[in-house]
Amino acid sequence: MYAPQGVKLSPKMPVPDKMRAWVLGDPGELKLVDKPVPVPRRAEVLVRIDAVAICATDLEVIAHGPPAKIQGGLPFNKNWTPGHEYMGTVAALGPGVDEYAIGERVTVEIHAGCGQCKRCRQGMYTSCLNYGLNYGDVDKGHRANGFTTDGGFAEYAINNINTLVHVPDGMSDEEATLVVTAGTAMYGLTELGGLVAGESIVVTGPGPIGLLGVAVAKALGAEPVILTGTRDNRLQIGRELGADYVINVRKEDAVEAVQRIMNGRGVDYVLECAGAPNAIDEGARMVNRGGKICLAAFPHEPVPIDVAALVTNNIYLYGIRGEGRSATHRAAAFMAQKRFDATKIHTHTFALDDLPTALRYARDRVEDAIKVVVKRRVEAVRQAAAE
């Protein structure tokens, strides 16, 4: 039985020595194997993973590798487990940890910076200068679960205490997995201008981050909130989450529609979540002079940009990575207060053993899948389906 020295356990929640975990082999190849249950160190806990959502970045990592970085290089054939949007139950405490209790439900942030570089000391731990340096003789203590350390497509994972967010009793496992997505949107809005009450915003792309970007912006008081996209059904979900206007870019020119809504003034912010090649140039024509554009997605190939339009109009451009500056805590607070219903983007649930099918649903948008969740126990999936 699992009993590492210095680790606090509870007889009410026994931990096995081995766990089931999916590991990445060649690009696109996942295998379900038995791995040793990891051991938490100082300021870390062991989390029993109860549910994990699939992110588009997981699909990118599994197929191509970056931005995952394992042992200094690509993540393939290194016995590494992807997955990062998970929640679960604290199962064991590392030495000296008293901030959390065994049995407490938590959801997680992805990133725990090294805590010693310039960016971490500024609070920018998602931009840690020691990213991926957490192995061998160069162990700087950096963690980014599902990117530089083992992630959530398994039964257990290690998390730094700074990455944990308490889950209230009234929040389902599935909803708790969405805190990271909402936190990413919150981080983007934080970097653009913090509280945006009374200011206007366009959110481009009604994927998971875009839809929750609408919800978070509206909860922060943005007015109006405009959502652009190509699918009427997703735009309708955006309306339900707080969008004042929706624009189907296949039916009308997005820039002209935004300028019409804003009486030619443009908006204060653009939160770009589509990753389209023309996203920056279109965003620059949507914002007013001195406006701000946040890039929460990216095209797969380099694209030309009209830099002159950005410079002459004093437009600020921001790129974000993950859910930094403790944005997940703020997003989780909104969700706990029922300021918006994040479950509107959860469409499918599968068991851990069915992860390849779940990934296919997410990748190919089978049955118009938006957010696909994987649960550790088969009976939990059946229960979710019954409800």
pLDDT for 136 beyond 90: no
Weakest mean pLDDT among 73-82, 138-147, 232-241: 138-147
pLDDT for 301 beyond 90: no
Tell me which of 376 and 8 has the higher pLDDT: 8
Q: What is the pLDDT of residue 342?
A: 97
What ranges make up the beta strands (E) of 219-327?
Answer: 225-229, 245-248, 267-272, 287-295, 316-319
- Measure the N-to-C terminal CA separation of the chain; round to a whole number of Å: 35
Confidence of residue 192 (pLDDT cuts 50, 70, 90): confident
Q: What is the pLDDT of residue 52?
A: 98
- Residue-wise pLDDT for 313-344, tens only, equals 999 999 988 888 889 999 999 999 999 999 99
Q: What is the pLDDT of residue 387?
A: 59
Tell me which of 261 and 325 has the higher pLDDT: 261
| Residue 224: cis peptide before it, omega within 30 degrees of 0 | yes
State the virtual CA torsion across 123, 128, 133, 137 in degrees, nearest 10: -50
Q: Taking residues 47-70, what's their average pLDDT?
A: 96
Confidence of residue 299 (pLDDT cuts 50, 70, 90): confident
Q: What is the pLDDT of residue 195?
A: 72
Tokens of 105: 């439900």
pLDDT for 386 beyond 90: no
Strand partners, 295: 272, 319
